[in-house]
Each structure stands twice: as C-alpha cells, then as structure tokens.
Amino acid sequence: MRGATLGVIVACLIVGRAAAAESAAEAIRAFGLIGTWSIDCKRDPYQACENNRCGARLTYIASSSGAPTTRNVIGTFTPGQVRTFISTIYSATRIADDKIKIVSVQDSPPSTTLIWWRQPGEVWEIVLLKVGDKYRTFSAHRDDWKKIEVDEGFEVRPPPPPPPAQMYVDLPTKRLRGKNETPLFERCSD
C-alpha cells in the first residue's frame, strides 16, 4: 500500500510539473526575445549588400494562436530585394537564467542550397546566450548532430571541398571551428 501511495504522489508531481511548464511562446517572451534583432541594426536589409556584408533582421513572433515563429529577412545584392525565411518554433526552454534552448523547423523555401546548411523540414536545436540586453548564438545544430553551425559560441564550417569539386554534393563529415565568438544580436527599433 505504501508503494502505491508513493507512486501516486510521484505521478502527481510529474503531472503537476508538466502542467506548470512554460509554453514555447511564454519562454521566448520571458527571455525577452519577442521583437526584431540584428547584428547591425544600422544595415537595412532592403539596401544592396556592400563588400559582401548584407543587412538582416531576425524577428521572434508569438501570436495569440499557433506556434511561435522566427522571420529572418536577409539583404541581397539587388536593392529592394530580400530573402525571407520563416521557422516554426516547436519548443523553447530556459535552461539557465542566461540561456534558452529553442527547437525549430525551417519552413519552405530553402535559405540556401548548400548541403551542409539548414534545410526546410530539418529539426534544429539552438541555444541562445543572453549578454546584458543582447544575445549571441551559443550552439546551433541539427537534432542528429550531423550538421553543426555553432558550437560553444563559435561558428563551425566544413573545410573547402576537395579538388576538383566546387561545392559539397554529400554532407561533409569534417568541420572547422572559427576563432571568433558568434556576433551579438541587438534589438532593433524597426
């Protein structure tokens, strides 16, 4: 009898904890992400890219219905033309006071055709690190870890493909970690 009572108490605690868990929208709102962010708010994504530097905006949206989303608007070399990519956030969990883990899937169309980059339908886990009133990407990888963009705050890229290839046809297995931390995102007024 005592074992059954203990089992009921444990089950109630687990159910109570799950019921009290934040929704993805509540977590990104509490973390302060709702709104528009950029690594350089002065660069307008609708202006042509200069010196291979383009303006970009990342907007976190939590509407009253449906899953939260991100909208990524990136400039191009043609003035007034941008590339826009939407991702649906399926979960967001604060894992520390200064970190949040977001699980999302990019909607179609693809942002790039590079095989080692994020593609529509893939599940990605992203951890953001808050730094004062800004944040940076601490980690970003596909859920199976076969694609990694950021590890411990540093960008990760595959080395150039072996000659004579100009681009990878198959998913590369080697990666190079950059020397600089990922850039800080600041909140934009637009």
Determine the Cα–Cα distance for residues 122 and 105; give it in Å rounded to an integer.
6
Looking at the domain assignment, is residue 60 inside a domain? yes
pLDDT of residue 13: 40
The number of distinct structural domains making up the chain is 1
What pLDDT does residue 21 have?
81
pLDDT of residue 4: 47
Query: What is this structure's pTM?
Result: 0.83
- Give the model's pLDDT for residue 19: 43
Give the residue numbers spanning the domain of 114: 23-187
Question: Which pLDDT belongs to residue 20?
Answer: 55
CA distance between the termini of the chain: 62
Flag residues of the chain having pLDDT under 70.
1-20, 110-111
Whether residue 16 lies inside any domain: the answer is no
Does any domain span residue 49? yes
Judge contact between 57 and 73, C-beta under 8 A.
yes
Give a yes or no: residue 9 inside a domain. no
CA distance 52 to 37: 20
Taking the C-alpha atoms of residue 101 and residue 120, their distance in angstroms, rounded to an integer, is: 19
pLDDT of residue 178: 92
168 located within any domain: yes
Which SS3 state, helix, strand or coil, does residue 26 take? helix
- Quick check: is 6 in a domain? no
Q: Give the DSSP H or E segment for 91.
A: strand 82-96
Q: Which residues 6+ apart lie within 8 Å of 36 measured at CB?
A: 57, 58, 59, 187, 188, 190
